[in-house]
Amino acid sequence: MLPEEFDLSGRVAVVTGGGTGIGKATARLLAKRGADVAIAGRKADVLEDAAREIREETGGKCLAVPTDVRKPEACKALMEKVAEEFGRIDILINNAGGAHGHVGLSKIDLAKWDRDVQLNLSAAQYCAQAALPCLKKSKGCIVNISSLAGVHGTQGVGAYSAAKAGLQMLTRVMAAEWGPAGIRVNCVAPGMTATEKATAGWDERGYDAMQACSNFPLRRYGEMDEVAQAIAFFASDAASYVTGETLAVGGGPQIGGMIEVET
């Protein structure tokens, strides 16, 4: 049986980008732990398939709400729809994100820069502000999904790296401003994670992802469920006195001193 502090029965969660990858794994885990879940993304067919899968697998409720989170009014409509269908919102997972191609800062197309910043930083603010009235009522929580690119910085994805770093700061300021209302705000920064899209890209380019992780302390990339576990921790009462924090889930590449010594 699930320890009481991890039980999410009676809670309602919104997961942006919940139709695929880390978002879908998170939506599934939250539903398994008893939450009613709404998933949002742009592709209605992908979302509907994921929602059906999650309902069948968990026996819980999962609602698909097609949404472009780069549009503030769409984020507002998403939260209104969820509140109307489920009566409340307790948990917001700002997970939708991604980088648009690899190109250096000297040549980056500025429309793409704006798109990456909007998707990976501004959308979290749009969704959080739209969900705030409900989160105040429920004394709920927010989990923002950043990236290790936002911790170390990654060449070729400058806009993405800067936006993800900004998301970590947004987490801290939201936590400070909304903590007095009983709302916790935390952040998870995944490292290299084997999502469907990532593994397809690795295969296509003949990229040896395991080799790329060979100097990480844990010597491997992460699985979607491992990231989802960290997100579910922040979303649960097990983290009731934790706010404003960023937790890296990346096998430890941020740990310095890579001179090999015997274990």
- Residue with Cβ nearer ligand NAP (138 or 154): 154
Q: Which is nearer to ligand NAP, 4 or 45 (CB)?
A: 45
As measured in angstroms, the least distance from the Cβ of 182 to ligand NAP is 26
Among 98, 133, 179, 217, binds ligand NAP (CB under 6 A): 98
Q: Which of residues 58-77 bind ligand NAP (CB under 6 A)?
A: 67-70
List of residues 6+ apart from 68 with CB closer than 8 A: 42, 74
Instruction: Reply yes or no on whether 126 is catalytic.
Output: no
Output the six-digit token pair for 198.
């990532």
Does residue 186 bind ligand NAP (CB under 6 A)?
no
DSSP lists the bridge partners of residue 103 as 157
Q: Under the criterion CB under 6 A, does residue 166 sit at the interface with ligand NAP?
A: no
| Catalytic residue from among 160, 207, 221, 241 | 160
Query: With the C-alpha atoms ordered 32, 33, 34, 37, is the resulting torsion angle positive or negative?
Result: negative
Minimum gap (Å) between residue 244 Cβ and ligand NAP: 19
Among 131, 145, 183, 231, indicate the residue that binds ligand NAP (CB under 6 A).
145
Q: Assess 21 for contact with ligand NAP (CB under 6 A).
A: yes
Nearer to ligand NAP by C-beta: 181 or 212?
212
- CA 235 to CA 19: how far, in whole Å? 19
CA gap 144, 64 in Å, rounded = 20
Question: What phi and psi, each to the nearest 5 degrees, are found at residue 121?
Answer: -130, -60
Q: Does 232 bind ligand NAP (CB under 6 A)?
A: no
How far apart, in whole angstroms, are the C-alpha atoms of residue 239 and residue 212? 33
- Helix, strand and coil percent figures for the chain, each rounded to 5: 50, 15, 35
User: What is d(CA 78, CA 74) in angstroms, rounded to the nearest whole number?
Assistant: 6
Residue 251 as a binder of ligand NAP (CB under 6 A): the answer is no
Q: Is 192 in the site for ligand NAP (CB under 6 A)?
A: yes
CA–CA gap between residue 227 and residue 222 (Å, rounded) = 8
The residues binding ligand NAP (CB under 6 A) are 16-17, 19-23, 40-43, 46, 67-70, 95-98, 119, 145, 147, 190, 192-193, 195, 197-198
Active-site positions read 160
